[in-house]
């Protein structure tokens, strides 16, 4: 048995208008055509959908059981039709956004949620990973937009908008001895002999060299993993201040202090896309929302 979209529409019209004649007026058909259409559906199903012994078309229990599913199908068909039109108007079928681990992303999440409400069938892939891998995804055209903290000398192939700023601070455990960390630490360069925990891929292609101090490094793929290792004394790390504040307040880690400079490297956070790749509809709306919210 095959129940077509036309058949579902016809069935719901009779349910909603309470009679074959009412459904006929709504669908701009003659009542006999509506009655015959319902009879054909009933013949295929093998049971009646409406009690014809009364003046109104009263749905049978079987019909009432089908109504919620029929409405769901109609709703999804309408969404599909709208989405098909949107695709013809340059809406991408999938939007992939990569975010550098630890970068503040509240505004991005808000923008994605708003765009998702506007385009219900748009698929969004939101990925979090080390900053060097985020940029690699962008240049390999595996991500449409990326959010990352970088120094102002951005690549010429990249277009960008500054959405916020983030302060990276050097932190170490407040409860455990940190591997190689001098007990009388006074200067930034004294960190060079201790192990640094770096949020980066497994190779040495670290995106932001200003955050590197130590030659001995462990690479991890998330701020959460780095912070967990720091708490246990496996090494120290340069991490976003916002990501460590709870651990600092709880007394699990401490922000290091230096005599020769203030602890902290401030970097702008950019939403970035490629100049060579056309910005399609959903990506463009995310960019527009992020630019507007940052003003």
Segment among 64-68, 95-99, 156-160 with least mean pLDDT: 156-160
Give the model's pLDDT for residue 81.
67
Residue 128 in this model has a pLDDT that exceeds 60: yes
Choose one of 35, 57, 87: the last residue of a domain: 87
Q: Which residue has the higher pLDDT, 83 or 26?
A: 26
Total count of domains within the chain: 2
Residues 70/49, Cβ–Cβ less than 8 Å: no
Give the model's pLDDT for residue 154.
62
Q: What is the CATH number of the domain that holds 45?
A: 1.10.10.10
State whether 204 and 277 are in the same domain: yes
Q: Which residue has the higher pLDDT, 89 or 266?
A: 266
State whether 147 and 203 are in the same domain: yes
Residue 248 in this model has a pLDDT that exceeds 90: yes
Distance CA 284, CA 287 (A): 5
Tens of pLDDT, residue by residue over 34-43, are 888 888 888 8
Tens of pLDDT, residue by residue over 112-124, are 999 999 888 889 9
Choose one of 53, 87, 121: the last residue of a domain: 87
Give the model's pLDDT for residue 2.
63
With 0-12 / 13-18 / 19 or more C-beta atoms within 10 angstroms meaning exposed / middle / buried, residue 56 is middle
Helix (H) or strand (E) holding 269: strand 265-274
The stretch 115-139 carries a mean pLDDT of: 89
State whether 83 and 215 are in the same domain: no
Give the model's pLDDT for residue 255.
93
State whether 205 and 112 are in the same domain: yes
State whether 72 and 170 are in the same domain: no
User: Looking at residue 188, what DSSP letter applies?
Assistant: G
Q: Within 10 A of 13 (CB to CB), how many other CB atoms are there?
A: 20
Distance CA 29, CA 20 (A): 10
Q: What is the CATH number of the domain that holds 199?
A: 3.40.190.290
Give the model's pLDDT for residue 82.
61
Residues 286/143, Cβ–Cβ less than 8 Å: no
Question: What is the distance of C-alpha 127 from the center of its chain?
Answer: 7
E strands present in the chain = 50-51, 58-59, 94-100, 123-129, 145-149, 158-173, 196-199, 217-220, 236-240, 253-255, 265-274
Distance CA 93, CA 121 (A): 8
| pLDDT band, residue 83 (cuts 50/70/90) | low
State whether 96 and 57 are in the same domain: no
Tens of pLDDT, residue by residue over 154-198, are 677 888 888 988 999 999 999 999 888 888 888 888 888 899 999
Cα-Cα-Cα-Cα dihedral sign, residues 195, 201, 202, 207: negative
Tens of pLDDT, residue by residue over 213-237, are 888 889 998 999 999 999 999 999 9
Residues 290/111, Cβ–Cβ less than 8 Å: yes
State whether 261 and 224 are in the same domain: yes
Distance CA 207, CA 191 (A): 20
State whether 95 and 153 are in the same domain: yes
State whether 120 and 222 are in the same domain: yes
Residue 282 is encoded by which pair of tokens?
């959903």
Distance CA 57, CA 181 (A): 83
Give the model's pLDDT for residue 87.
63
State whether 165 and 133 are in the same domain: yes
Q: DSSP letters along 123-148, please? A: EEEEEEE-HHHHHHHHHTTS-SEEEE
Give the model's pLDDT for residue 206.
58
Residue 60 in this model has a pLDDT that exceeds 80: yes
φ, ψ at 91 (rounded to 5°): -80, 125
Using the structure block, give the residue that is written with the tokens 């036309």.
6
Choose one of 36, 71, 87: the last residue of a domain: 87
Structural domain including 57 reads: 5-87
Residue 109 in this model has a pLDDT that exceeds 90: yes
Give the model's pLDDT for residue 95.
93
State whether 187 and 242 are in the same domain: yes
The stretch 55-66 carries a mean pLDDT of: 86
Residue 11 in this model has a pLDDT that exceeds 70: yes
Find all residues with CB under 8 Å of 137, minimum gap 6, and list them.
96, 98, 127, 129, 143, 146
State whether 48 and 106 are in the same domain: no
């Amino acid at each position: 048995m095959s129940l077509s979209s036309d058949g579902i529409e016809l069935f719901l019209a009779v349910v909603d208008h309470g009679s074959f004649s009412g459904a006929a007026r709504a669908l701009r058909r003659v009542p006999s055509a509506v009655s015959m259409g319902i009879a054909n559906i009933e013949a295929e199903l093998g049971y009646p959908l409406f009690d014809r012994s009364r003046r109104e078309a009263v749905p049978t229990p079987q019909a009432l059981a089908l109504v919620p599913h029929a409405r769901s199908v109609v709703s999804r068909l309408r969404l599909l039709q709208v989405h098909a039109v949107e695709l013809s108007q340059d809406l991408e079928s999938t939007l992939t956004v990569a975010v550098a681990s630890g970068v503040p992303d509240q505004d991005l999440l808000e923008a994605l949620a708003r765009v998702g409400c506007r385009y219900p069938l748009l698929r969004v892939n939101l990925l979090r990973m080390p900053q060097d891998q985020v940029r690699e995804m962008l240049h390999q055209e595996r991500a449409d937009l990326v959010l990352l903290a970088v120094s102002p000398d951005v690549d010429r192939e990249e277009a960008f908008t500054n959405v916020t700023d983030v302060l990276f601070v050097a932190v170490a455990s407040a409860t455990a001895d940190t591997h190689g960390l001098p007990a009388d630490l006074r200067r930034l360069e004294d960190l060079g002999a201790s192990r640094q925990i770096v949020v980066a891929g497994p190779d040495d292609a670290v995106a932001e060299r200003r955050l590197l101090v130590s030659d001995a490094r462990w690479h991890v793929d998330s701020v959460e993993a780095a912070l967990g290792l720091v708490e246990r004394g496996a090494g120290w790390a340069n991490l976003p201040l916002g990501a460590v504040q709870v651990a600092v307040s709880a007394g699990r880690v401490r922000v290091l202090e230096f005599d020769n400079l203030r602890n902290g490297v401030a970097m702008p956070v950019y939403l970035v896309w490629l100049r060579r790749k056309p910005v399609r509809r959903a990506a463009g709306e995310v960019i527009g929302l992020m630019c507007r919210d940052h003003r």
